[in-house]
């Protein structure tokens, strides 16, 4: 059997090395290599999809000795929770590289960083060894730091530094938890499957490990009050960086929440379930209210990410609290689907804002008006993505959020107050659409050009998938449900 997971994982790295090896290459050739590499990676992940996942445990396992003396090995594989995220990752990177073909400033370094980041992201989702996971998790930070610092906007140095130090501070407690789990497992191993099947810690040790992990993933997700790095990083990052940051890297937090916190310290997670639920509800509502207060359209979308990730946390917390396995599975189904939907929708929105900024060099909503008439394709695309983001039925977020709210109502009815978030996001998106795209066209922008082919190619797959997932969520849900239905914790 072809080791397709490893091939998919290391293809982008190979592409990056190839670009580094080529001296004096034209900008076009560099972008072409980037697009082709990420395209092949996308095909690789589709191949993984066609192989499918197992009823229990992980599928498509690939293992290699690495540091046997301390029980660390190269172990990769997927299940119904990680495979959808891998697909999302490869798709978003492919589209991002197409979109970034316009980058003329040091394209070599840009594409290399992008491909390095892609390997790190796929690695984070497929790693089944805690050290390997941590390595990929951190490499993604380094690449994103250089991405923001090198190609960001006005205040990029400060934002990049803040992002790096904040998220490193965030991820080090995870290292502590990993060491704790390692020392608790007998014989000592870093095999995540062993930790999931036999949680190595209990009692106080498990609770401390859980707190350390929650801190890490709360910073990454991000959850109020650990979210302050997010608006700064998003606003300063280049559009491509924002798409990856929101579409892929925020999922590290929620994926870790499920994979590590929920699966490796299940009893402690259940004990702390109410607290985590409250954090989720607060994050969702805070994100919505904070978004309402923004005039910068990129900050607005950044804050709605806090809101949408809040729903994921609510779903995971409900899964821990629920006693009925069916409800538990539904809650996790909703959470994982929400991660995928958010990647598609927010990815599209950040692309659109990037395209708008390329044209207008501003992101202030008050500066615009009536763009729907001047740039209809851009305008209607934004309207579609915004409607998806506010949870309109028939679009990607609806089936995910619906499932989360349903189980919340069954398990902790009081927490359903979180549904207020939908009302607020609806209001703020309608306001944004009104200000930017409706009304009288602003004189200043009459000459604004509509989307070109490259931009349409970038957006179309996302918009189509937003509709497809909204109408036929079973396409993704079947895969997710296969794993969540069998989870024992």
Partner 1 sequence: MADDLALLIPEIIVLLTIVFALVAEMLRLPRIALAVSVTGLLLATGMTLPLLGADTSVFGGTYRIDTLSVWAKLILLPATALSILLARAELGGSDREGTVYVLICLVTLGSLVLASAGDTMLLVLGVLLSGLGSFALVAYPRDDAATEAAMKFFVFGSVTGAIMIFGLSYWFGGSGSTLLSELSLLDTKPVIAAVGLIAVIVGLGYKAALVPFHFWAPDAYEGAPVSIAAYMSVVPKIGAIFAFAQVVRDLPMDTHWPLVIAVVSVLTMTYGYLAALAQNNVVRLLAYSSIAQAGYFLLGIVAVGANPLAFVSIIVFAAAYAAMNLGAFAVLMRVGRTLDAFSGIGRRKVVMGIAMVVFLLSLAGIPPLAGFVGKFLLFGAAMDAGFTWLTVIAILNSVLSLAVYLRIVVPMYQQPDDATAPAQTAAPKPEPLITLVWIVAFVFTLGIGLAAQPILGQIS
Residues at the contact surface with partner 1, assessed by CB under 8 A: 65-70, 131, 134-135, 138-139, 141-142, 146, 149-150, 157, 161, 164-165, 168-169, 172-173, 175-176, 179-180, 182-183
CB 70 to partner 1: min, Å: 6
Dihedral of alpha carbons 250, 108, 5, 66, sign:
negative
CA-based radius of gyration for the chain: 21
Distance CA 343, CA 302 (A): 12
Helices (H) and strands (E) in the chain, counts: 22, 2
The two structure tokens encoding residue 317: 């917390």
CB 115 to partner 1: min, Å: 15
Instruction: Please count the residues of the chain.
Output: 489
Helix (H, G, I), strand (E, B) or coil at 401: helix
Say how many C-beta atoms besides its own lie within 10 A of residue 102's C-beta: 17
Q: CA separation (Å) from 179 to 172, 191, 200?
A: 11, 12, 11
Quick one: 146 or 252, whose CB is closer to partner 1? 146
Distance CA 180, CA 178 (A): 5
CB 69 to partner 1: min, Å: 4
CB 261 to partner 1: min, Å: 18
CB 137 to partner 1: min, Å: 8
CB 321 to partner 1: min, Å: 29
CB 230 to partner 1: min, Å: 18
Quick one: 211 or 360, whose CB is closer to partner 1? 211
Quick one: 156 or 234, whose CB is closer to partner 1? 156
Quick one: 47 or 66, whose CB is closer to partner 1? 66
Q: Report whether 189 contacts 251 (CB < 8 A).
A: no
Distance CA 375, CA 74 (A): 50
Which residues are CB-neighbours of 447 under 8 A, at least 6 positions away? Answer: none
CB 117 to partner 1: min, Å: 15
| Alpha helices by DSSP H, 265-296 | 266-271, 273-292
Quick one: 122 or 388, whose CB is closer to partner 1? 122
Helix (H, G, I), strand (E, B) or coil at 63: strand
Q: Which long-range contacts (CB under 8 A, 24 or more apart) does 275-278 make?
A: 276/214, 276/313, 276/316, 276/317, 276/320, 277/313, 277/314, 277/317, 277/318, 277/321, 277/412, 277/415
Going by the DSSP 8-state scheme, the letter that residue 364 receives in this structure is B
Helix (H, G, I), strand (E, B) or coil at 428: helix
CB 263 to partner 1: min, Å: 22
Quick one: 182 or 286, whose CB is closer to partner 1? 182
Q: What angle do CA 337, 340, 345 make, to 5 degrees?
A: 120
Helix (H, G, I), strand (E, B) or coil at 60: strand
The two structure tokens encoding residue 265: 């310290």
How far does Cα 379 stand from its chain's mean position? 25
Which residues are CB-neighbours of 154 under 8 A, at least 6 positions away? Answer: 236
Quick one: 135 or 278, whose CB is closer to partner 1? 135
CB 350 to partner 1: min, Å: 24
Pairing of strands 59-67, 72-78: antiparallel
Distance CA 178, CA 213 (A): 9
CB 183 to partner 1: min, Å: 5
CB 397 to partner 1: min, Å: 34
Distance CA 407, CA 405 (A): 6
Distance CA 418, CA 334 (A): 15
Quick one: 141 or 355, whose CB is closer to partner 1? 141
Quick one: 72 or 313, whose CB is closer to partner 1? 72
């Amino acid at each position: 059997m072809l080791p397709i997971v490893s091939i998919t994982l290391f293809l982008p790295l190979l592409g990056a090395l190839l670009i580094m090896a080529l001296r004096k290459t034209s900008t076009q050739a560099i972008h072409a290599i980037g697009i082709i590499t990420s395209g092949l990676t996308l095909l690789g992940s589709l191949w993984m999809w066609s192989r499918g996942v197992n009823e229990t445990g992980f599928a498509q396992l690939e293992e290699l000795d690495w540091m046997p003396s301390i029980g660390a090995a190269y172990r990769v594989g997927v299940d119904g929770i990680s495979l959808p995220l891998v697909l999302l990752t490869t798709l978003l990177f492919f589209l991002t590289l197409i979109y970034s073909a316009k980058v003329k400033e040091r394209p070599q370094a840009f594409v290399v960083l992008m491909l390095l980041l892609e390997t790190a992201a796929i690695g984070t989702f497929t790693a089944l060894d805690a050290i390997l996971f941590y390595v990929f998790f951190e490499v993604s930070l380094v690449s994103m730091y250089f991405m923001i610092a090198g190609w960001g906007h006005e205040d990029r140095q400060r934002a990049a530094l803040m992002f790096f130090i904040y998220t490193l501070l965030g991820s080090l407690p995870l290292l502590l938890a990993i060491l704790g789990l390692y020392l608790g497992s007998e014989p000592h191993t870093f095999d995540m499957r062993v930790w999931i099947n036999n949680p190595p810690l209990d009692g106080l040790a498990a609770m401390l490990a859980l707190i350390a992990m929650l801190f890490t993933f709360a910073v990454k997700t991000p959850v109020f009050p650990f979210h302050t790095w997010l608006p700064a990083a998003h606003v300063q990052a280049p559009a491509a960086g924002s798409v990856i940051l929101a579409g892929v890297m925020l999922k590290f937090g929620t994926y870790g929440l499920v994979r590590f916190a929920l699966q490796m310290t299940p009893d402690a997670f259940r004990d702390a379930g109410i607290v985590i639920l409250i954090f989720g509800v607060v994050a969702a509502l805070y994100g919505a209210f904070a978004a309402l207060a923004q005039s910068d359209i990129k900050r607005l979308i950044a804050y709605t990410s806090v809101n949408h990730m809040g729903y994921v946390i609510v779903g995971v917390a409900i899964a821990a609290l629920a006693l009925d396995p069916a409800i538990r599975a539904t809650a996790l189904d909703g959470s994982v689907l929400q991660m995928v939907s958010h990647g598609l929708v927010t990815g599209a929105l950040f692309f659109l804002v990037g395209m708008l900024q390329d044209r207008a060099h501003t992101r202030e909503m008050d500066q615009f008006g009536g763009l729907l008439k001047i740039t209809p394709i851009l305008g209607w695309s934004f309207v579609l993505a915004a409607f998806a983001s506010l949870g309109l039925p028939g679009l990607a977020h609806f089936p995910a959020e619906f499932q989360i709210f349903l189980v919340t109502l069954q398990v902790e009815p009081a927490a359903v107050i979180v549904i207020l978030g939908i009302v607020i996001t609806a209001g703020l998106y309608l306001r944004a659409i009104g200000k930017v795209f409706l009304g009288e066209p602003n004189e200043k922008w009459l000459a604004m050009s509509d989307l070109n082919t490259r931009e349409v190619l970038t957006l179309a797959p996302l918009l189509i998938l937003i509709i497809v997932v909204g109408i036929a969520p079973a396409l993704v849900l079947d895969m997710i449900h296969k794993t969540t239905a069998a989870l024992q914790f």
